[in-house]
């Protein structure tokens, strides 16, 4: 939603001028009306909380891309999906740590502007409730105000929704999840964030029965959740107390992202050693970071059946040991390893 206008057709076509190639061209339809962003020839980045299953399709520029694997980022809302087809182009990633104070362009499919929210004494416009969702892609601008850290989900880029903001001042609403935030690096716009959440809900009287979601420029005079099932009143002040939205910070997870999109099975996926330890056999594997492996065994390479030793064994970029209990009692044993994701 925008601070300056309720026009439902505002910014529904690609940005032009100084904002040409600022990210619109990379946004594909994912999980209904959500968005996702290609980041490598066969990978795209999305928000974890919107779900999805292997086999689902990303639609981008009239083409369908079929997912064949997914990897979840630890301690984050980010997910990297792999597709069977090849993207002709993809978004470069923002790797610097200087996002605060930077202009950002954001994309999403959130709601239209709803009813006005007024509060305070004298009564003042505080913002607008979320209106109807129409699934239309829009773009807006904002300034990254701070880095917010969540104990479970890591770092987020947080812009504020200001009353006297920039020309295309915007905030997010339901439906904007998984859309992208781009920041310019030199002459290139790069993917800096994936949308996660917004501040809210709010209440005019401190009761849950009258709570609402809204794009709020000033929380003064409203009630906000206190985290323990109740509400806290925010005193109205001379200066606005703006709300903001939160996008998962790409730069803080860049090592993990690169470990997924740059990983090639080969030298990393091999059995480096097999050794008896007591009654067990220890199988040493060379692994890639954040990958999952299947280890199987058989007693007959020609006619034998392969049996699972361990499944979903996580890799760490180094040597990982799989244990085959009691295997030293067998006259002979053969092992193989398979990359799961």
Least-confidence region, from 45-49, 98-102, 335-339: 335-339
**Is the domain 17-83 a CATH 2.40.10.10 member?**
yes
Tens of pLDDT, residue by residue over 130-147, are: 999 999 999 999 999 999
Q: Are residues 144 and 162 in contact, defined by beta-carbon separation less than 8 angstroms?
A: no
Distance CA(116)–CA(130), nearest Å, equals 10
Q: Do domains 17-83 and 103-252 have the same CATH topology?
A: yes
- Helices marked H in the chain: 254-261
Distance CA(155)–CA(171), nearest Å, equals 18
Calculate ∠ Cα 217-125-245, nearest 5°.
Answer: 15
Domain coordinates in residue numbering, the chain = 17-83, 103-252, 270-339
Question: Top-level CATH class of 103-252?
Answer: mainly beta
Give the DSSP per-residue string, 219-254: -TT-EEE-SSSSEEE----SS----BEEEEESGGGH
Q: Average pLDDT in the 23-38 region?
A: 97
In this model, does residue 341 exceed pLDDT 80? Answer: no
Confidence of residue 266 (pLDDT cuts 50, 70, 90): low
Tens of pLDDT, residue by residue over 270-300, are: 788 999 999 999 999 888 776 788 899 998 8
Tens of pLDDT, residue by residue over 235-250, are: 999 999 999 999 999 9
Q: What is the pLDDT of residue 290?
A: 67
pTM for the whole structure: 0.80
């Amino acid at each position: 939603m925008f601070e300056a206008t309720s026009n439902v057709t505002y910014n529904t076509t690609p940005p032009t001028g100084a904002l040409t190639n600022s990210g619109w061209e990379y946004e594909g339809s994912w999980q209904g009306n959500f968005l996702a962003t290609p980041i490598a020839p066969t990978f795209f980045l999305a928000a974890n909380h919107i779900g999805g299953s292997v086999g689902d399709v990303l639609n981008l520029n009239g083409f369908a891309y079929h997912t064949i694997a997914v990897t979840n980022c630890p301690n984050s809302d980010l997910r990297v999906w792999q597709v069977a087809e090849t993207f002709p182009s993809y978004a470069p990633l923002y790797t610097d740590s200087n996002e605060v104070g930077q202009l950002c362009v954001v994309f999403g499919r959130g709601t239209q502007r709803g009813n006005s929210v007024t509060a305070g004494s004298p009564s003042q416009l505080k913002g607008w409730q979320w209106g109807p969702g129409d699934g239309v892609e829009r773009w807006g601008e904002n300034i990254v105000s701070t880095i917010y850290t969540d104990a479970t989900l890591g770092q987020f880029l947080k812009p504020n929704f200001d009353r006297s903001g920039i020309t295309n001042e915007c905030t997010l609403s339901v439906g904007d999840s998984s859309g992208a935030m781009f920041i310019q690096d030199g002459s290139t716009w790069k993917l800096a964030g994936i949308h996660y959440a917004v501040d809210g809900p709010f209440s005019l009287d401190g009761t849950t029965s009258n709570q609402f979601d809204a794009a709020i420029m000033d929380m003064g005079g409203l009630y906000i959740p206190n985290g323990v099932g109740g509400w806290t009143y925010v005193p109205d002040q001379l200066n606005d107390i703006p709300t903001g939205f939160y996008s998962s910070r790409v730069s803080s997870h860049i090592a993990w992202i690169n470990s997924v999109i740059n990983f090639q099975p080969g030298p990393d996926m091999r059995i480096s050693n097999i050794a008896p330890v007591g009654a067990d056999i220890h199988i040493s594997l060379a692994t890639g970071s954040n990958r999952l492996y299947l280890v199987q065994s058989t007693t007959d390479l020609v006619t034998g059946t392969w049996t699972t030793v361990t499944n979903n064994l996580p890799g760490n970029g180094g040597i990982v040991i799989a244990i085959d209990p009691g295997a030293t009692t067998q006259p002979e044993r053969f092992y193989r390893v398979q990359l799961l994701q």
